[in-house]
Amino acid sequence: MTSSDQPIGVFDSGVGGVSVLREIRRELPAEDLVYVADSEYAPYGDRAAAFIIERSITMVQFLEHHGAKAVVVACNTATGIAVDTLRARFPMPIVAIEPAVKPAVSQTRSGVIGVLATTQTISSPRFSRLVDAHAAGVRVVAQASPGLVEQVEAGDLASATTRSLVEQYVRPLLDQGADTIVLGCTHYPFLTAVIEDVVGPDVTVIDPAVAVARELRRRLQANGLLASGTHAGKEWFWTTGQPEQAQMVIRQLWGKTVEVRRVVPS
């Protein structure tokens, strides 16, 4: 029997999903949270689909083993490629992030929205379906952005190299008239300061993490799994990569130092 006292499990290919974890913590202060970063294998975005599915299954198995009552796929790439497999295979509620095309379509005034995401997210049939379902009458310019995930994993959030990569990917969107840009990869909110500086004040940047946290609350409520107490929930951080490295980057978004433990490969 699953109990509401069990933690929520959250995973990403790396530290990017902490941008989602942050919103989950704001929305659900009493929940215990287990986060696992698959940094040893990041980035997922340019890997074969079979590899992304295999790693996503391994991550959910890890979270299940740590008692997760629900899982959040805090990785657009894993959602695009693996979420159907995960939902078919695991019994717990699985909430998944995906690029916020629908809110962007309702906000644009120019009729052009830009999506920054990984190569695999953009080429996934799921992304095509998302655009077909929600973007009638609006032009969607999808920009694959290889290299940005690596910059974030390295903790290099504001160097000249990072800025020039951001410019390289964002300029074509602005040149084509986008007034709304979707952050379609959970690593990119780490770069919000640079992105907003490049796009200027007239362009809206959308991060779907808040919507994911609300959807998670709804799903937990519907399943009778919301934590009952009023105590502050705890967090546990794990990585398949180097804990010191993850710790250094996570601190920049989480706002305080956290202990990160290494997942021992089975």
Catalytic residue annotation: 75, 185
Distance CA(143)–CA(160), nearest Å, equals 20
Binding of residue 13 to ligand DGL (CB under 6 A): yes
Residue among 6, 8, 12, 239 that touches ligand DGL (CB under 6 A): 12
Distance CA(224)–CA(4), nearest Å, equals 7
Residue among 186, 239, 245, 247 that touches ligand DGL (CB under 6 A): 186
For the record, the structure tokens of 252 come out as 């920049």
Question: How many residues bind ligand DGL, per CB under 6 A?
Answer: 17
Contacts with 266 (C-beta within 8 Å, 6 or more apart), sequence order: none
Binding of residue 16 to ligand DGL (CB under 6 A): yes
The helix or strand, by DSSP H or E, that contains position 115, with its residue range, turns out to be: strand 112-117
Could you tell me which stretch among 25-33, 155-163, 185-193, 238-246 binds ligand DGL (CB under 6 A)? 185-193
Q: Taking CB under 6 A as the rule, which mask of x and - marks residues 99-118 in contact with ligand DGL?
A: -------------------x
Q: Taking CB under 6 A as the rule, which mask of x and - marks residues 77-96 in contact with ligand DGL?
A: x-------------------
End-to-end CA distance of the chain: 26
Contact 180, 114 (CB under 8 A): yes
Distance CA(71)–CA(33), nearest Å, equals 10
Based on CB atoms, which residue is closest to ligand DGL, 9 or 43? 43
Based on CB atoms, which residue is closest to ligand DGL, 7 or 43? 43
Beta carbon of residue 149, minimum distance to ligand DGL (angstroms, whole number): 4
Q: Taking CB under 6 A as the rule, which mask of x and - marks residues 121-140 in contact with ligand DGL?
A: x-------------------
Contacts with 33 (C-beta within 8 Å, 6 or more apart), sequence order: 7, 8, 10, 21, 24, 25, 233, 234, 235, 236
Based on CB atoms, which residue is closest to ligand DGL, 37 or 105? 37
Q: Taking CB under 6 A as the rule, which mask of x and - marks residues 31-70 in contact with ligand DGL?
A: -----------xxxx-------------------------
Residue among 33, 36, 53, 75 that touches ligand DGL (CB under 6 A): 75
Sign of CA dihedral 62, 66, 68, 72: negative
Count of CA atoms in the C-beta half-sphere (13 A) of 247: 10
Binding of residue 237 to ligand DGL (CB under 6 A): no
Residue facing ligand DGL at closest CB distance = 45
Distance CA(180)–CA(111), nearest Å, equals 9
Q: Residue 141, class by beta-carbon neighbours within 10 Å (0-12 exposed, 13-18 middle, 19+ buried)? A: middle
Binding site for ligand DGL (CB under 6 A): 12-14, 16, 42-45, 75-77, 118, 121, 149, 185-187
